[in-house]
Amino acid sequence: MPIDILMPALSPTMEEGKLAKWLKKEGDQVKAGDIIAEIETDKATMEVEAVDEGILAKILVADGTDNVAVNTRIGVIAADGEDVSTAANGAAKAAAPEPKAEPAPAAKAEEAPAASAPQSVPAQAKAYDASSEFPAGAEIVSMTVREALRDAMAEEMRRDGDVFVMGEEVAEYQGAYKVTQGLLQEFGPKRVIDTPITEHGFAGIGVGAALSGLRPIVEFMTFNFAMQAIDHIINSAAKTLYMSGGQMGAPIVFRGPNGAAARVGAQHSHDYAAWYSNVPGLKVVMPYSASDAKGLLKSAIRDPNPVIFLENEILYGRSFDVPKSDDFLVPIGKAKVVRPGTDVTIVSFGIGMAYALGAAEALAKEGIEAEVIDLRTIRPMDIETVVASVQKTNRCVAVEEGFPQSGVTAEIGMKIMEAAFDYLDAPVARVTGKDVPMPYAANLEKLALPNIGEVVAAAKAVCYR
């Protein structure tokens, strides 16, 4: 069967180019890998290789032809044992365009039916049910977020010898926030590695290790410092799977505190959830409770993709109920209805959940029952669970500590508009951090962050109360 030679693309955006010259002529024997032609654009020149063995039976596009569209048949190779003249004749016939039949005159012109408007009301969305995530019969213990994160890493390191931890002060000092406490003593310095103060350096080493088949957990003392490593995270970890055609993946977790803490200034208080959630190839997780921190971190370590795991320094010391199980997992990409309600949906993630839950309690005292949803994962975002709630409450308030411009809550609002516009009885409201660099002074920092009162006010506004 003849083998078509197609006009290749020099880049994903290339649409056409020039067939500069043929390096083989009709009748020549070619082998896989032989250079048979050269193509040009205004930016580059590329050689065209044969993909199979045979004889160049027919050249369909001559040397020097401009504006040849990508995927146009430019030649035909006759496979070994195939009749060359038959392949050439078949190629010529295929290359000749068929004359277009003129349509018979219509007896009466008919108007085309008007295009129907797209249906904006979706089918009833289904919320994810997180009630079965805790293993049946498991003992429930109280645990801080810090302890939950440590246990998640320890359990996965026991399970898989390819998992290791690296970062500044993770070993001898037991972690800047004591999240890696005890790991050095159990797993030794080859799997719990103190690094120099060079995020660009050790993040690159981690990405290289992941591309080689290991499963690194790279801790940043704060995600503000990950700015030094963002080229490795985005251009290497996030994009290599796609750019290698699926041949190379990066099973790596980048974790550490993100966003505001307490009087650490603008350069240590930035919330990067929206930044990383913009990048195809990354998964972005931002838990609130200890159980979600543990279950999601274990899932992130097992995931074959790079995962940005955003923690919060203020939450490290808070305690929550956690099931006592070495195989407790929380799926990435699923939100959780934390508090059911009927009057308004409040959706948040990370420490924003503290404002959302506090506001729900205050609203309940005034007769407004808020349904509170914890996104848990920012990318991929479980918008269906949010939409299912909005279809019930008809109102939504989205909460985050990040900036309003291009924020996660802006994405939530847009997705609700696209999927549930006809269910809304009021515009989606947002409560975010103020659009200023984080002040150092305690009184100004407090003003720059969201608070429960602002969430209550937003919920009342969309309920017209």
Number of helices (H), then strands (E), in the chain: 13, 22
Per annotation, catalytic residue among 268, 311, 400, 411: 268
270 a catalytic residue? no
3-state secondary structure of 17: strand
To the query of whether residue 232 is one of the catalytic residues in this protein, the response is no
Q: Which residues partner with 219 through β-bridges? A: 167, 255
Triad 25, 31, 33: Cα angle to 5°? 100
Distance CA 357, CA 434 (A): 20
180 — alpha (psi -120 to 50), left (phi > 0) or beta?
alpha
Identify the CA nearest to 51 among candidates 40, 37, 64, 68.
37
Alpha helices in 79-193 (DSSP H): 84-95, 145-159, 183-187
> The sheet that has 307-311: what strands, in order across it?
192-194, 163-167, 215-219, 253-257, 307-311, 283-285, 377-379
Out of 147, 155, 199, 313, the active site residue is 199
Give the span between the Cα atoms of 181 and 31, in whole angstroms: 60
Nearest CA among 321, 309, 318 for reference residue 146: 318
Contact 138, 328 (CB under 8 A): yes
E strand or H helix that includes residue 203: helix 199-211
Q: What's the Cα-to-Cα distance from 286 to each of 35, 148, 419, 429, rounded to whole Å?
A: 50, 14, 24, 21
Name residue 296's amino acid. L
Strand intervals (E) in 303-418: 307-311, 319-323, 336-339, 344-348, 370-374, 377-379, 396-399
By annotation, the residues acting in catalysis are 199, 268
